[in-house]
Structure 1
Amino acid sequence: MKKTTILTAGALALTLLASSVMAAVSPQEADKLGTTLTPLGGEKAGNADGSIPAWTGGLKPGAAPVQNDFIGNPFEGEKPQFVITAATAAQYKDNLTPGQMAMFQRYPDTYKIPVYKTQRTASSPQDVYAAVKSSALNTVAVNDGYGLQNFEKSHYTAFPIPKSGLEVVWNHLTRYRGTSFMQNLVQATPQVNGSYTLVNVQQSVGFPWQMKDTDPQQSANVLFYAKQEVTSPARMAGNVLLVHETIDQLKDPRMAWSYSAGQRRVRRAPQVAYDGPGTAADGLRVADQNDMYNGAPDRYDWKLIGKKEMYVPYNNYTLFSPKVKYEDIIKPGHINQDLTRYELHRVWEVEGTLKAGERHIYAKRHMYFDEDTWAVLEIDHYDGRGQLWRVGEGLLVNDYVQGTANYAAITVYDLIAGRYVVSNLQNENKRGQDYSYRPTMTDFTPAALRNAGIR
C-alpha cells in the first residue's frame, strides 16, 4: 500500500512537471524553424494554387529609398488585382472576417477592400531568428499559462511553434519590435459627419535588456517600459502616462502612473488595463486595444481554431507614406480605403471567451494573427449579448530596415455608433520612427513623468 502511494505520488509529480514544460518543443521540432518553417514560425511553403507564394527571406534594407526615417514603398505603382465591394462581398466571404462583412453592410456605398498580389515581406535580423529558436527550446508557460518562464533567455516570440490559442496570443505580445524607440503618433475620433480633432502623442519605449543601467533583478519580469505624452491639442497637452509592462501580470500586475497637467500631480493609474478607458479615444477603444491587443490575457479562455487564408491589411506602404495627409486618410464612417492594401495571407484564428465571473465589456473576441510576423491584423469584438460590436484592423507595414512589423494605422470601428478611432498615424511628422533613441532607467520613473509633463 505504501509502495503504491509512493508510485502514485511520483507519477503525479512527473505529470505536473511535464505539464509545466509542455510549451517548450523538442530540438527536432525546433529545427523546423528556418527549414520547413520560417525562422519566426510561419509556413515557408506557398499554398496549393500559388496565390500565397513561398517565403524566401522577406524584404531587406535597400528595398526602397528611405527619407527622414520614412521607409519607401517597394511596390510603388502596383494596382489592385480586384476590389471587393458590398455588391461582390458574398463571393469572397470564406476569406473575409465577420467584421469585414459587417463593414460592407454598415457602409455599402463607400467601404471597399482593394486586393493586391500577395508579397511575403516579413524579415528580421539573424540574431532575432536565433533568439526565437531559443524561445522554442526554453520558454515555458507558468501560472496557468498567463506567465512565462525562461523567456529572459530570448526576449522574442515566446512560442514560435504554438500548440494553443494562448500561445499564439503570447506571440503577438512578445513579437520583435526593434531596438528602443521614440515616435510621434497621431490619433483621431471622427464624428459621424467626418469632423475631427487630431491628438498628437509622443511615445518613448525602452526594452530593459537593451538598457545599460538596467537592474536585472528589478526588471526580470518587465517586457518593456513606455511613456506617452500628449502634445496637442492645448486642452490635453502635458498629460503623461508611464507604464511598466510586466510579463507575468498575475505575479506582478502592470504598473502605471499618470501625470495630469491641470493638477500637476503624479498618480498611480490602475485603470490603464483591460477595459479601462483608452487614451483620448472618446470611449471608442479600451486600454487593452492599444497595439490591437495588449496586457494580461488572463480574463479570457483562448481557443485555437486553426489556420485559414484571409484577405488582410498588409504592406500598407501607401497609407504609411509622408506624401499622404491626414485629411486624405480620415473620412466619415471609416478611413479612406483607396489608400489601403489587402493581400491573401495565412492567419492563425483564435477565439477569446470571457471567463465566468470575470469582467470586460467584450464578452468574446475573434482574433486573426499573421503567420509571418505574429501581429494581430483583425479583431472582431462582441458584446455581452453576443452581438458583433466593434471591428479592429491593424494595417500592417513591414519595416525592411529594422526588421520589424509595424502598423501604418490601427482602426476600431463601432458598428452601432457609426464612429471610429484611428491611431498610429505618422504621415505628417518631420521624421519617421527614431530607433537611435537610447533611454536609461531614469527616463521611466514617476519623477521623469512629472518632468516630462511640465508646461
Structure 2
Amino acid sequence: MKPARLLLTACTLSLSLSLVAASVMAAVSPEEAAKLGTSLTPIGAEKAGNADGSIPAWTGGLKADAAPVQNGFMGNPYASEKPLFIITAATAEQYKDKLTPGQQALFKRYPDTYKMPVYKTQRSAVLPQTAYDAAKKSAVTTEAVNDGYSLKNFNDIHYFAFPIPKNGLEVVWNHLTRYRGHSYINSQVQATPQVNGSFTPVQIEIASGFPWLMSDAKPKDINNILFFAKQTVTSPARMAGNVTLIHETLDQVAEPRMAWAYNAGQRRVRRAPQVAYDGPGTAADGLRTADNADMYNGAPDRYDWKLVGKKEIYIPYNSYKLQSPSLKYTDVIQPGHINQDLTRYELHRVWEVVGTLKSGSRHIYAKRHMFFDEDTWTAVEIDHYDGRGQLWRVSEGHTFTDYVQKLTAFAGIGTYDLMAGRYVVSNLGNENKQGINYAYQPSVNDFTPAALRNAGIR
C-alpha cells in the first residue's frame, strides 16, 4: 500500500503545482523587458514605423510647447493639416480591412452623414519619466493571479501592469492601469440626444484622486485602491445634487468595487452596488452601462479575453479640434452621431481583443470586440454584441495628447445604439471656463461616505 500512497501523493502534488502555475501568470524576463525603450517604446509599443511608412516611428511624442494653451485647453499642433482623404459610406468598402465592424456598421446606419476624415499619422503620445520607469519595473515584477483577474506585486507600481502582454486579459489590464496623471477635478457634459438631435446637457463634476499621492493616506488606502472618484451632477436642476462615490479596487475578486450614492431629493447616502458591470450609466437614459464609462472600466472577471493580435486600423486620434473651447455643444451634438466634421482619424497599430461572456456570468453584452491604441494602451474602439450575437452598440473614444501634463485624455466618447438610432456622448468640456484642473490636491477624507452628503448642492 505504501507505494500506491506515495504515487497518489506525488500525483496530487503535481496536480497542485500545475494548478498554481495555471493561476499565476509570470512577469517577463529581464532580457525581454530590456526591449522597453529600445526596440519598443518605454510602455511597450513598436517603436519603428510600418513597412510602407504610413505609420512613422515613435520619436518621443509632443513637446510641452507644441502649441499655445488657452485656459487649460490644448492648442492644436496640427491645425494646418488637411485630411488625406475622407471615408464615406460610398467608399467604406475599399477601406474595410482598416475599419472595425462597428465603424462599418455606422456607415451603413448613417450613410448620408457618418464620415471619417483621415489625416497623416502623428505619434504624439508622451508620458512622464515616472510612468516609463513604472512600466519597466512592472514588466519584470507584476504577476496576474486568480486566473488573471487579480494583480500581484503591483501595489507600489501603479501604472501599466503588463507593458509586454502575452494574452488578451493583460492588454485589458494595461487600459485599466494606464497613466492618468495627477489627481484632478473636471467638469464634463454628457448628452443623450433624441433621434431628431434635441438634447439636454447634463453637467457632471468629476473629482478623481490617487491615494499614493495623498499625504494623509494610510496603508489600507494604498494597498488595494486604484483610485477614488466622485461624480456630482450640477445641472439640470432636476438632477442637480446627486452624487456618486467610487473606491475603485485593484483586486476586485477579493474586494469588489465600493460605491455609494447620495440622492439629493431623499438626502440619504446609500451603498450603490449597481454602479458596476451592466448597471445603468449615470444620467445616460439607458444608452450605456456603468462599465461603458472611460470606454471600459471595472472588474474584467465576467469575460474570457482572447488576444486576436495586432492590426492597423483608422482610429480617432489627436482630437484637438473636437476639444476646442471655440465650439458650442450644439456644434458637436447632432442627430445619430457627433459632428464628424470635427473628428480626426489616423492609421495606427492597435491590439485587438475579444471578450466573451463566461458561462454562468451575467451581462447585457455577450461579447465585446475591443481595440487598444498601442502607444497609450487606451481603448479607442469597442463593439458590443447582444445575447443573439448581433452588433448592438459601438463606442468611439476621441483622444488627444495633453502635452503639458504628458498624458492621454478624451475629447469625447460616443456610444452609439444601432438599434435605437440614438447615442450618448460624454467627456465634453468645450463650454467650460477652463480645462481639466490638475492642481487639485484632495485628501482621503474628501472621498469618504461621510463627506458624500456635503458634496450635494440641493
TM-score, structure 1 normalization: 0.98
Amino acid at match of 2:98: N
**Residue 339 of structure 2, aligned match among 327, 336, 340:** 336
Matched positions, count: 455
Task: Work out whether 1:306 is the aligned partner of 2:309.
Answer: yes
| 8 Å CA contact retained: 2:193, 2:200 | yes
Amino acid at match of 2:146: N
SS at 1:315's partner residue? coil
| 8 Å CA contact retained: 1:201, 1:228 | yes
1:389-416 deviation line (CA, Å, top 9, x unaligned): 1100000111111111111000000111
Amino acid at match of 1:171: N
Deviation at 1:217, TM superposition (A): 2.5
Task: Work out whether 1:206 is the aligned partner of 2:209.
Answer: yes
Q: Percent of aligned pairs with the same residue?
A: 71
**Residue 109 of structure 1, aligned match among 108, 112, 115:** 112
SS at 2:411's partner residue? strand
**Residue 263 of structure 2, aligned match among 260, 263, 271:** 260
**Residue 184 of structure 1, aligned match among 164, 179, 187:** 187
Q: Which residue of 2 aligns with 1:26?
A: 29
**Residue 413 of structure 1, aligned match among 393, 413, 416:** 416
- The residue correspondences of 1:25-424 to structure 2 (distance < 5 A) are 25-424=28-427
| 8 Å CA contact retained: 1:229, 1:453 | yes
Q: Gaps (5+ residues) in structure 1? A: none
Distance 1:118 1:48 in 2: 14
Distance 2:54 2:316 in 1: 16
Distance 2:21 2:111 in 1: 52
Distance 2:381 2:190 in 1: 19
Worse-matched range after superposition: 85-94 or 350-359: 350-359
Distance 1:261 1:235 in 2: 10
Distance 1:408 1:23 in 2: 36
Amino acid at match of 1:334: H
TM-score, structure 2 normalization: 0.97
Q: Gaps (5+ residues) in structure 2? A: none
Amino acid at match of 1:237: A
1:163-186 deviation line (CA, Å, top 9, x unaligned): 010000000000000010000000
Deviation at 1:6, TM superposition (A): 5.8
| 8 Å CA contact retained: 2:23, 2:146 | no
1:84-133 deviation line (CA, Å, top 9, x unaligned): 00000000000001110010111101110000000001110111100111
Distance 1:23 1:292 in 2: 28
SS at 1:381's partner residue? strand
Distance 2:138 2:23 in 1: 15
Distance 1:174 1:71 in 2: 24
Deviation at 1:8, TM superposition (A): 4.6
| 8 Å CA contact retained: 1:187, 1:198 | yes
Worse-matched range after superposition: 347-356 or 3-12: 3-12
Distance 1:326 1:267 in 2: 33
| 8 Å CA contact retained: 2:24, 2:148 | no
Amino acid at match of 2:328: K
**Residue 427 of structure 1, aligned match among 415, 427, 430:** 430
Deviation at 1:188, TM superposition (A): 0.5
Deviation at 1:187, TM superposition (A): 0.6
Distance 2:225 2:155 in 1: 10
Deviation at 1:447, TM superposition (A): 1.3
Distance 1:268 1:10 in 2: 43
CA RMSD of aligned residues (A): 1.2
Distance 1:364 1:91 in 2: 27
Shift of the 445–137 alpha-carbon distance from structure 1 to 2, 3 Å rule, reads: same
